[in-house]
Structure formats: C-alpha cells, structure tokens
Amino acid sequence: MTDNYLTLVNSGPAGTLAKKLGLPRPAVLRRHKQGAPLVPGPLLVLGTGAGADTLATRLLDWNQDVRRHARPGEKLGAIVVVLDAVADPSDLAAPVLELGQALRQLARGGRIVTVSRPALESTDPAEAAARQGIDGMVRSIGRELRAGATANGILLRGEAPVESASGALRFLLSGKSAFVNGQFITAGESPQSGPQDEERPLAGQTAVVTGAARGIGAEIAAVLSRDGAHVVVVDVPAAGEQLAAVANRVGGTALQLDITAEDAASRILEHVQHRYGSLDLLVHNAGITRDKLLANMDAARWESVMAVNLASQLRVNRSLLASDTFSASGRIVCLASTSGIAGNRGQSNYAASKAGVIGMVRSTGAALEGSGRTINAVAPGFIETEMTARMPFATREVARRFSSLQQGGQPIDVAETIAFLASPAAAGINGEVLRVCGQSLVGA
C-alpha cells in the first residue's frame, strides 16, 4: 500500500508547509539498488584499539573511503564505532562524544553501527554496565536521527574476533537494512571464510518459501531469486493461480500444499530432491491472523492460528533437520512478529504463536550450535501489506508515524533481511531474532 502522506511531504511546497506546521516529515529511505555504493559518502571509523584498526582495514578492502577523524564540513555516509574492548563506563565518554560531534555531518540515509560485546557474557559488574550502556545509547541515537538515517549495533559472541562482525556490518551499512533501526545482531565466529559474491550470494542454492503466493512471501521469493537461488514457492491450493504467477516471475517452481498437513515436510523434501537434489534454505513465511479479544476468542480461532503459525514450523523443522536432503550448511529463517515481543490488542492467539516461534528459534539455535546449520527469525513490525491496508485509517496513520522512521516498512525490507540471514555472510549468526520495525513495536 502507498503511503500518500510520505509522498506528499517529499514533494517541495507540501514539505515546506509541513515543516512550518511542525508535522512529521518522514524521509524516503535509502534502499538497495543494484550497482549503488555501499554507503553514500566517506565512512568514519571511531575507536582507538586494535579492533578499530582491523575494521578500518576491512572497510578499505571493500573499496570504502575510510576516515579515522571527521573532516570539517564533509558529509559522512556512515560512522562505525568500535567498542569491543570497553571495560568500564568511563571508557565510553571519549568515543561517544566524538560520535556526537560527527553526527552533525551524517548524510541523508546514513548509518551508525557500533561493534561491542554482550553484557550478559561478562562477570565483571563494571564491564557489564559499560556494555549494557551501549545498548541504551544506540537505541536512543536511533530515535534522534533524521532524514532516514539509522543506528544499530553488532555484538561479538564469546571470543569471536572483530572480523566476525563483517557480514552483519556490510548488511547494516547497506540500503538492505533501511527499516532496521535501534537493533542489535549477535555474531559468533563464522565457520565459513573466503570471498563471497556480493551480487549473487545464494548462487546455486535451493530455497523454499512458504506462504509465497502474495505479499511478503512473494517479495521474499523475488529477492532470493535475485540473489541467485533456485526458489520453490509453496502455498495452499486455493492460491494456485497466484502461486504459479510468482513461480513464473522468479523462474522457480510452485508446490501447492497445506503447510499444516502431516505430510507437508515429506512433500517439500520430495519435490526439492527430485528437481534440485538438496535444500539449502527454508523460509517459514506462511501465517494467518484470526483476531478477537480473548473474552470473545473461540477454539477454532485459537487453534487455526497456532496450527499454521507455529505447529507447522515445529513439525517441518523436525523432518528437515533429520533429512539428508537438507544441506550440512542449511539455513532456516522463520517469520515472527513484534506482536510476539510486545503483544497486541485482540491478538492473544497470534502473539502466542509468534512468541512461540521466537522460543523455538532460540532453542533450536542452541541445538544447532557448531553444526554448520543455522536458524534465525525476523520479526516485522508495521509493514505496508494488504493486511495493514484493512486497518482503520487513524490506527494505520498512528502506526506509521509512531516508528522512529515515521513510516511503515515495505515487504522488500523483510525480504532483504531474510536474504541476509540466508547468505554465507551470516554463517556466524544463529538463534537470533532480528526486528524489522523502524524501531516501533506497533502492529503485526
């Protein structure tokens, strides 16, 4: 669905009037375009330790114009703040205040990315306090930025070297992370190494996307195909015509089935094995809503939502992980929701199912640790889809403007995040839940 207000306030006279009246002025977000630079201008790296030097060198290897100190009057495409060695809250003052001064030079659609370590992994109170302080700082900066800029963080798990941040860093700097703001990605040491094809990172791989006949599912299929994957799109027989159109559009194959059927997993595996030999990626996108206040909830509404959104994923995952058809470096990406994190009025069944997905991902991720396989979840917030288009006008407008980016996300934002988690660059990311919500917990 088109956000007409966003279009209006970015069209000259209307934008000037909105500014005079103090109205919200959401920016057109910087999204990925083939051949576009990673960041729109020079990139500043802050930090005095070896980790900052290492990442500055890595960014130079990516042909970025790297600065270690901001030049007066120069617009910066991104600022990377390396804080992996902080041991006390006093260690934050110098780099954070330097960041504050550099923020004045951040370009439209710019990026702030911090690199640090998880507070929960520290047994030293001062060190844990400093690490947790970074969390609050980044989330606050994300709410202060304007003109489509975002602030996010990367946490290095365990003894992972700074280089382990590379995959997440490239994603967060790029236009692919346009609607990810105020979030943290935890990355461990990657079991995979060597150069990657940045344009087609999924070349030669086979992906299955459920609920792919329209909306977010169809967009996921398109992005995975763009990135080089052979895509199998799955949906119910009633959506067969739409599903076939999606398959034709992405050059893939269509499989009509009810994902809640007992034989759904075996049919998916048989289809993939027959046509492609093995399966590298499964995206659990299929989902439904049957909203009612709990006082008016009946068994049919509760059970149907749980069956599609959660039970089917559990059943399929069990079969997939036990099958030789699933690659030794296979990826599972599940669609959760901010409703499963913050709750939502009239969605106790939906929120329970999506919170259940998060619990499943974290548990399964722990079981997969070190195996070469990964499972992660993406939790969309307010995304412009047919479902949100049916919301009452006032509710929809509040949901759009409540995010720190003052707008809803697009299906492409969810699809880009899933494609990143499916890529070799995310090999060290496992059991994570990444919100794509523009730093808002409103909506499904």
Give the catalytic positions in this structure: 350
d(CA 206, CA 217): 16
d(CA 355, CA 348): 10
Name residue, tokens 């047994």. 123
Among 5, 443, 415, residue whose Cα is nearest residue 179: 415
Q: What is the radius of gyration, based on Cα positions, of the chain?
A: 22
- Asked if 208 and 272 count as a contact pair (C-beta separation under 8 A), the reply is yes
Using alpha carbons, list the distances in angstroms from residue 13 to 16, 19, 83, 405: 5, 10, 43, 21
- Asked if 42 and 77 count as a contact pair (C-beta separation under 8 A), the reply is yes
Angle between helices 348-368 and 299-306 in degrees, nearest 10: 30
d(CA 27, CA 108): 9
80 bridge partner residues: 45, 113
Backbone angles phi, psi at 263, to 5 degrees: -95, 15
Q: Give me the DSSP letters along 205-230.
A: -EEEEES-SSHHHHHHHHHHHHTT-E
**What length is written for the chain?**
444
Among 418, 407, 396, 378, residue whose Cα is nearest residue 148: 407
Among 133, 127, 128, 129, residue whose Cα is nearest residue 114: 133
Strands 374-380 and 43-46 turn out to be: unpaired
Among 153, 281, 143, 130, residue whose Cα is nearest residue 210: 281
Helix (H) or strand (E) holding 130: helix 125-144
